[in-house]
Amino acid sequence: AQKITQTQPGMFVQEKEAVTLDCTYDTSDPSYGLFWYKQPSSGEMIFLIYQGSYDQQNATEGRYSLNFQKARKSANLVISASQLGDSAMYFCAMRDLSGGYQKVTFGIGTKLQVIP
Amino acid sequence: SQTIHQWPATLVQPVGSPLSLECTVEGTSNPNLYWYRQAAGRGLQLLFYSVGIGQISSEVPQNLSASRPQDRQFILSSKKLLLSDSGFYLCAWSASGGKNIQYFGAGTRLSVL
């Protein structure tokens, strides 16, 4: 089974609107971490937000929030008040114990386009 | 604050030529270091990681090798490049222990012709 699943190859959102990017994960490790990264066309991977499996509250960082639903194994990224500069690829990732060490696995990404 | 430098930004190499990509981290000690490859339109594939000087673990058997000659230096090499080595290579670091949040360099676009 895929460890990280991002089912939306591409998404469009109107400027100033909110958008949700979906991510589901699969792990049997009770202690894990979830991340979202942004990759603009320049290629650099930019860390956005982190959620630990034991964190009681959803993580927030400015306009980014992570909708963590543990029972459903989902970790959706919500971007509020979209800006043109938000247009990029977005990757969900998970850290868990794999092969004897803490490994980070990335999804295949979602391309977000913000429309003026 | 911590910064990560990766170079060169772009590289065009003929098949069979050697490769050396370098990555250095500033502002931290004993970081975990990683090399990833990203094929066009795909996610990241972990190639190598290192938890200390001279300690390299390989995730995928391939034509590439990695070395960590100094605490904050990570080098990706090949003796003879293949066409299939083309891609976008990213170096990353994370602090030892804790959340393992990885911070990435700007990447190197490698074209093997």
- The yes-or-no verdict on residue B39 having pLDDT over 90 is no
Q: CB contacts < 8 Å between A and B, how many?
A: 46
Q: Residue B50 has what DSSP assignment?
A: E
State CA B29 to chain mean position distance.
Answer: 18
Secondary structure (3-state) at B83? helix
- The yes-or-no verdict on residue B99 having pLDDT over 90 is no
Contacts of A104 in chain B (CB under 8 A): 46, 100, 102
- The yes-or-no verdict on residue A99 having pLDDT over 80 is no
d(CA A29, CA A31): 5
State CA B7 to chain mean position distance.
Answer: 10
**Average confidence score pLDDT of chain B:** 93
How confident is the model over B66-85, as a mean pLDDT?
95
Residue A70's nearest CA partner among A110, A30, A116, A18 is: A30
Place of tokens 């300690």: B55
d(CA A44, CA A38): 8
- Residue from the list B43, B57, B100 with its beta carbon closest to the beta carbon of A109: B43
Q: What is the pLDDT of residue A1?
A: 62
d(CA A51, CA B98): 12
